[in-house]
Amino acid sequence: MTYHLAGDSTVAPMKAGEEPMAGWGECLDEFVSAPVLNHAFGGATTESFLASGTWGELLTGVADGDTVVIQFGHNDQKQPELLASRGGYTDRLRRMVADVRERGSRPVLCTSCERRWFDGERVTPTHGDYPNAVRDLAAEEGVDLIDLTAFTTWLYEDLGDEASARLLSHYAPGETVAWPEGLVDDTHFRVDGARRIARFVAKSLRAIERRDGDQPAKGSTFTA
């Protein structure tokens, strides 16, 4: 069995020279026993993942009994005319789910990791209707859902504003080669944050597999 990852920069492997910025997919193999093939890339939408041929490339490696983990939304929300939450976005996710199932494999949908935007002690939701659209699609299609919007919101609020910043790409001047003048980025993880998310994803995947006896998923939601 192999895990295949489809997603955007919050899932993607770090780029050379941008260390320690990393997507959670970079760290997933630390917490699972099966191989992980990470096809996610920065700036990806459901449309560009399909149009670039990356989805087709992913599918060529999918075998019976594999699991395909799908997380989009950060960039889809920037193209509402083409990729509306209840339109093009969910249409393309539904196609991905069908493609995976045709290969006898398990699709797992994820809502987007929340941006770490605090208002007082609470994190401000930034993805509009997109997480709810994924939740509803998972329920309609009987697909397992890992609710990373809910989990990351809980994680940041539990740690608090100051401590949670250490999970994201906040770099002091001179700390990194890529950003010598420093960086404050509340969307992308540094490795410590990527590991926290990856650990939760791995725990959720194990729960799915235990429940189903490693058979195709029937639809559950995993939050904090």
Locate the domains of the chain by residue range. Answer: 3-222
Look at strands 118-119 and 67-71 and give their pairing: unpaired
What's the pLDDT band for 221 if we cut at 50, 70, 90?
low
Report field, pTM of the whole predicted structure over 0.85:
yes
Is the pLDDT at 195 greater than 70? The verdict is yes
Categorize the per-residue pLDDT at 217 as very low, low, confident or very high, splitting at 50, 70 and 90. Answer: very low
**pLDDT value of position 222:** 58
Name which residue leads in pLDDT, 220 or 47.
47
Sheet hosting strand 106-110, strand order edge to edge: 36-38, 3-7, 67-71, 106-110, 144-146, 221-222
Mean pLDDT of 3-24: 95
Average pLDDT of every residue of the chain: 95
For 47-87, the pLDDT digits (tens) are: 999 999 999 999 999 999 999 999 999 999 999 999 999 99
Q: Which CATH number fits domain 3-222: 3.30.565.10, 3.40.50.11540, 2.40.128.640, 3.40.50.1110?
A: 3.40.50.1110
Stretch among 8-22, 73-87, 96-110 having the lowest mean pLDDT: 8-22
Q: What's the confidence (pLDDT) of residue 70?
A: 98
Distance CA 149, CA 130 (A): 10
CA-closest candidate to residue 21, choices 200, 188, 197: 188
Closest CA to 72 of 58, 88, 53, 56: 88
